[in-house]
């Protein structure tokens, strides 16, 4: 998923063999998820199914892919369409290409504005079959799901105190080696020092940012956070949004939705939904909701 993995053990003695086994379980969970959901692998399950999107064929995906597709459909409905994984054709058109999808099926040759089309992300069929009309990118929500699954797998081994990180997203359980809450930095998207530090216990945190996935095409600086209403990179006055919550999947969904919603709307929506959210505007300003401030233990002087 293009993210470095790190597992940090918290308080309590853990033997080397046990630590190695837990690390292997995390790596295995991410490998299984990549095989099901990576749009960058030609052999992944989602790539194979994307090649027949729009053909009318109903498929019976694996458990992991089915959960991801159903979760994407639910997120699309709950957010009024502002979360929409059907932006793969837009990403490819803009130059952020994954494995080739080909030109079969209605869904394989969609214009950038096709994501405005109403309708569910997937349509349920008989015997747990699903059908979808346009190719799907499960990158963000897929990582959130994998963090959820890896966390559950670690907990089944008896792990209670750990910090599991996958790039800018993570899950904190229990306490750090000193018995305190886990301290996590809110990065400066401009590449400087952290803008703030938050203390987490039994929470997940996800960030949608344009810091890493940026490129230049036809004289334009582009990024991977696509506004599904336009099929273009969201230009909303924001450069990063971070959300904390009990579930890494919904932290990921809301960080993306709030980013697309923009600087003018983010404060009111995040507060109305009771979200712990931090956001960095394109002028470098850091702001946060009251719920976020309650778990923020330090703010850089220049960001205050």
* Cα-based distances in Å from 117 to 86, 100, 110: 10, 23, 11
Strand ranges of the sheet holding 286-288, from the earlier edge strand across to the other edge: 5-9, 162-166, 169-173, 203-209, 238-245, 276-281, 286-288
pLDDT tens, residue by residue, 50-97: 999 988 888 899 999 999 999 999 999 999 999 999 999 999 999 999
pLDDT, position 221: 87
Q: How far apart are CA 273 and CA 251, in angstroms?
A: 12
Q: Which two tokens stand for residue 87?
A: 């932006």
Is residue 130 scored above 80 in pLDDT? Answer: yes
pTM of the model: 0.93
Residue, of 216 and 241, whose pLDDT is higher: 241
pLDDT tens, residue by residue, 244-259: 999 999 999 999 999 9
Return the domain boundaries, the chain: 45-137, 181-299
Is residue 168 scored above 50 in pLDDT? Answer: yes
pLDDT tens, residue by residue, 187-223: 999 888 899 999 999 999 999 999 888 888 888 989 9
Q: Could you say which architecture CATH assigns to the domain 45-137?
A: Orthogonal Bundle (1.10)
Domain spanning 181-299: CATH superfamily? ApbE-like domains (3.10.520.10)
Confidence bin at 9 (pLDDT 50/70/90): very high
For residue 224, how many other CB atoms are within 10 A of its CB? 21
Tell me whether the CATH fold assigned to 45-137 matches the one assigned to 181-299. no
Q: How far apart are CA 239 and CA 185, in angstroms?
A: 16
Average pLDDT over residues 256-270: 97
Q: How far is CA 282 from the centre of its chain?
A: 21
pLDDT, position 102: 66
* Cα-based distances in Å from 124 to 20, 60, 120, 127: 40, 10, 10, 9
Is residue 106 scored above 50 in pLDDT? Answer: no
Q: How far is CA 103 from the centre of its chain?
A: 27
Question: What mean pLDDT is reported for the chain?
Answer: 91
Beta carbons within 8 Å of 81's beta carbon, 6+ residues apart: 118, 228, 229
Beta carbons within 8 Å of 220's beta carbon, 6+ residues apart: none
Give φ, ψ of 11 to 5 degrees: -65, 160
């Amino acid at each position: 998923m293009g993210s470095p993995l790190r597992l940090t053990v918290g308080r309590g003695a853990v033997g080397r063999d046990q630590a190695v086994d837990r690390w292997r379980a995390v790596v295995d969970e991410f490998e299984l998820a990549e095989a099901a959901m990576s749009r960058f692998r030609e052999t992944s399950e989602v790539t194979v199914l994307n090649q027949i999107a729009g053909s009318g064929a109903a498929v019976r995906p694996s458990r992991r892919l089915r959960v991801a597709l159903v979760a994407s459909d639910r997120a699309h409905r709950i957010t009024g369409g502002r979360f929409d994984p059907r932006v793969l054709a837009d990403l490819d058109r803009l130059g952020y290409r994954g494995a080739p999808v080909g030109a079969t099926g209605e869904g394989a040759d969609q214009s950038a504005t096709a994501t405005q089309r109403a309708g569910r992300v997937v349509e349920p069929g008989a015997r747990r079959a699903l059908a979808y009309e346009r190719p799907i990118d499960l990158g963000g929500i897929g990582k959130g799901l994998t963090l959820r699954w890896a966390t559950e797998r670690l907990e089944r081994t008896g792990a209670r105190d750990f910090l599991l990180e996958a790039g800018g997203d993570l899950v904190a359980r229990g306490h750090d080696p000193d018995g305190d809450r886990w301290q996590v930095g809110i990065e400066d998207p401009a590449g400087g020092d952290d803008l703030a530090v938050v203390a987490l216990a039994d929470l997940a945190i996800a960030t949608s940012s344009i810091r890493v996935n940026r490129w230049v095409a036809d004289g334009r600086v582009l990024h991977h956070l696509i506004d599904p209403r336009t099929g273009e990179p969201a230009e909303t006055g924001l450069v990063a949004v971070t959300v904390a919550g009990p579930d890494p999947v919904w932290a990921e969904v809301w960080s993306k939705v709030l980013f697309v919603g923009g600087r003018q709307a983010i404060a009111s929506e995040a507060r109305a939904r009771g979200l712990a959210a931090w956001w960095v505007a394109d002028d470098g300003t850091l702001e946060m909701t009251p719920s976020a401030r309650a778990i923020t233990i330090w703010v850089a002087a220049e960001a205050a």
